[in-house]
Homo-oligomer: A and B are copies of this chain.
Amino acid sequence: MKTPAPKPKKVVLAYSGGLDTSIIITWLKENYGCEVIAMIGDVGQQEDLEAARKKALATGASSAYVEDLREEFIRDYIWPTLRAGAVYEHTYLLGTSMARPVLGKRQAELALQLGADGVSHGCTGKGNDQVRFELAYKAIAPNLQIIAPWREWDIDSREDAIAYAEKHTVSPEKAPDKAEEVEIGFEAGTPVWVNGTKLGPIELLNLLNEIAARHGVGRTDLVENRLVGMKSRGAYETPGGTLLVTAHRELERLTVDRETAHLQQTLAVRYAELVYNGVWFSTQRQALDGFFNVSQQRVTGSVGLKLWKGTHNVTSRKSPFSLYRADLASFTMGRYNPKDAEGFINLFALPVTVRPKAKAEGNS
């Protein structure tokens, strides 16, 4: 029989500054008589985090930390997911999904560092985020006690992601009449410059967010399959991410050979599931990164995009490692001999034509 876990004495809470996590501070203190430390993670949400920090203290937190996770988030979570071409169910770019592990990881590290014995978050019991946070806690600091008050209260379901939507992006109808071009440069699958200017990850993503939002690019509204078994509606805004996924995919068309590209397509489906399900800290994800690190080595070059009224179309693709060779068409010597196609077709067809052939000959 399982003994009930002892009540935690010191809890690190993933604090947002909103009402939902503010309530938790009071509740934890009342119910457990424990000390509560608020952690506010900066993953680029562009809110007033200093105000949140003050609010946490005012609401009863013994201390409150603002953790700048922006660069780590982009470099170690967004870029690998981009390189993997991972998009959940064709459409969802996994923004929130990737943010949870980096927040949960930092929260668990902080707990270890401060000698806390518990961690807490404000996710409800119907969403994916609870899973993503808790898998991170369990991976980094498996002995911490996890307290998820909103799972117990279950007042109302509310997927955080929905709240994000329709906030920043201009609607396509109101976008400027004049198109805008942007060129994005990659090295080994990682974006490194925009319009000729080399930029750090934060600046690069901010700039692309700004440009894409201006033209109403990157809004999506869908029905998705949650890990916890139900379907839900989500509305997402990922303006800069949308440009990056398109540009990256176009550059891959140029630089990755067919068989590798097709295998990548299948593995990207798996990668997206892992990220969506919060299984970030796992051998499987690391091994897939091992694959993509190799397959992306020559995904270097740039892609131009034209943004207009909610659309973004490719205008150029360039790479020093391009496998597209116009000369393959005209210059045949030693390279492409159309006569080879006859032999190719005969053998390619063999497995599916043994049977009709045998039939035509009257046996089988």
- Listed in ascending order, the chain A residues whose CB lies under 8 Å from chain B are 1-3, 5, 89-90, 124-126, 130-131, 134-135, 138-143, 148, 151-152, 154, 156-157, 172-173, 221-225, 227-233, 249-250, 253-254, 256-263, 265-266, 269-270, 273, 277, 279, 281-284, 286-295, 297-298, 308-311, 313-314, 317, 320-325, 328-330, 332-358, 360, 364
Q: List 11 A-B contacts (CB under 8 A).
A: A126-B329, A138-B349, A141-B360, A223-B253, A228-B350, A230-B350, A232-B324, A258-B351, A309-B310, A320-B364, A343-B344
Complex Cα gap A295–B283 (Å): 6
Are A289 and B294 CB-contacts (below 8 A) given A224-B253, A344-B343, A357-B142?
yes
Complex Cα gap A231–B261 (Å): 12
Q: Say whether B143 contacts A351, CB under 8 Å.
A: no
Tell me the minimal C-beta distance from A2 to chain B in angstroms: 5
Are A223 and B294 CB-contacts (below 8 A) given A284-B257, A345-B131?
no
Q: Say whether A341 contacts B151, CB under 8 Å.
A: yes
A287 — which chain B residues lie within 8 A by C-beta?
260, 263, 291-292, 294-295
Q: Say whether B284 contacts A354, CB under 8 Å.
A: no
Q: Say whether A337 contacts B291, CB under 8 Å.
A: no
A3 — which chain B residues lie within 8 A by C-beta?
333
- Checking B124, B135, B228, B263 against A284 with a beta-carbon cut-off of 8 angstroms, the contacting residue is B263
Q: Say whether A283 contacts B256, CB under 8 Å.
A: yes
Q: Say whether B295 contacts A279, CB under 8 Å.
A: no
Are A284 and B310 CB-contacts (below 8 A) given A352-B139, A352-B279?
no
Q: Say whether A323 contacts B354, CB under 8 Å.
A: yes
Complex Cα gap A357–B275 (Å): 22
- Checking B5, B125, B310, B358 against A341 with a beta-carbon cut-off of 8 angstroms, the contacting residue is B125
Complex Cα gap A11–B282 (Å): 42
- 19 more contacts with CB within 8 A, not counting A221-B314, A260-B283, A335-B357, are A90-B265, A125-B342, A131-B341, A138-B352, A141-B360, A223-B317, A223-B324, A228-B344, A229-B347, A230-B351, A231-B253, A257-B351, A257-B355, A259-B284, A260-B284, A262-B269, A263-B284, A288-B291, A337-B343
Q: Say whether B341 contacts A281, CB under 8 Å.
A: no
